[in-house]
Amino acid sequence: MSFPAQYDAFQPAGLVRIEAAALEALAARLEGPMAAPFARAVEMILRCGQSNGRVVVTGMGKSGIIAQKIAATLSSTGSPALFLHPAEAVHGDVGVLMPGDVVVALSASGETEEILRLLATLKRKGDALVSFCCNPQSTLAQASDVALDCSVAREACGLNLAPTASTTAMLALGDALAVAVSLRKGFRAEDFAELHPGGKLGKRLAKVRELMHAGEEIPTVTPSTPMADVIFEMSSKKLGITTVQQDGRLCGVISDGDLRRLLEREGGAALSKTAGEAMNPHPRTIAGGELAAKALAILEERKITSLVVVDANQNVEGIVHLHDLWGVELI
């Protein structure tokens, strides 16, 4: 098959366009003849999860590297998965397969020797076999319960040999499968957070109670506290705010901004007031179980630096400050 000049695989842009064309063709198949097989594969994985089964992904060579990534994506989106090396499988590793597992096998040719040697065992031990193949008439595709077509017009390689466009198509198809299953499961940001506790992503998905100031770190006064003592409490706790509480319940807050505006308005007379007279009785609050990203969104929307964390009965649990959310990104 000949390609126009813009698909010249000896040019970087041409290489990318060949792979992009492979993805466009894959998308068209998913909207057409492959829609039903893809839906069946999703159902198989859903049933597998309901019976405590796992998704076992296997592939050799470059397809094996893609298989490892697909297994990782499935696991991180709520579908327990593992990678099985086909060469090691014939030497005992196939023992990881359990009844109820779904096997997803990747092979561009559909004739990978190491995988074909496993076919009988995979069919006997697993619950279902899904394959990603570039040849729907191959041995692997024909033996599968569901065969998903990853065929490409050509590889993005001058010799049309190195797995490039085909592995890109496999990767995209694996991502689509993992995400489709997670959507059907109702996988939430909170679920994602539990599986990603580390790094920047972990902080973005952390719960407010994991980042808030609690206990003795919470600036606290009562409604009858004199303003001089309010200022001392705010200064000593260094959060730019104090809660006004009565028996642990939130009555209101006084922020640096509230205090500044009070002094501008009333001058020295402001110092004769009590916390109850100076407080904002309707502060914005947040529950400890909310995501840190939501707290950040509220702070940015309201142009404030702190939120009081309360329970359902308005009991104060902590304070989350803008500084505590550095590194968090909005979802």
Q: Residue-wise pLDDT tens for the chain (331 aa)?
A: 455 544 554 678 888 899 999 999 999 999 999 999 999 999 999 998 787 889 999 999 999 999 999 999 999 888 999 999 999 987 778 888 888 899 999 999 999 999 999 888 887 776 799 999 999 999 999 999 999 999 999 988 777 778 899 999 999 999 999 999 999 888 766 656 565 555 555 566 788 998 899 999 999 999 999 999 999 999 999 999 999 999 999 999 999 999 999 999 988 888 899 999 999 999 999 999 998 888 888 998 888 999 999 999 999 999 999 888 875 554 4
Total H helices, total E strands in the chain? 15, 11
Q: Do the two domains 5-186 and 204-325 of this chain adopt the same fold? A: no
- H or E element in which residue 165 lies: helix 165-185
Q: Which one, of 66, 12, 61, 18, lies nearest residue 165 by Cα?
A: 18
Report the b/e string of 189-201 with b at 16+ CB within 10 A.
eeebbeebeeeee
Tokens encoding 32 = 């057409």
| Residue 130 CA from chain centroid, whole number | 25
> What is the architecture, at CATH level 2, of domain 5-186?
3-Layer(aba) Sandwich (3.40)
Give the integer Cα–Cα distance in Å for 295 and 285.
9
Superfamily of domain 204-325: CBS-domain (3.10.580.10)
Sheet containing strand 285-287, edge to edge, reads 285-287, 306-310, 316-321
Q: What is the 3-state secondary structure (H, E, C) of 37-66?
A: HHHHHHHHHHHHHHCCCCEEEEECCHHHHH
Instruction: Considering only CA atoms, give the Rg of the chain.
Output: 29
- 3-class secondary-structure state, position 91: coil
Give the integer Cα–Cα distance in Å for 129 and 115.
12
Domain residue ranges in the chain: 5-186, 204-325
DSSP 304-331: -SEEEEE-TT-BEEEEEEGGGGTT----
- The distance in angstroms from the start CA to the end CA of the chain is 44
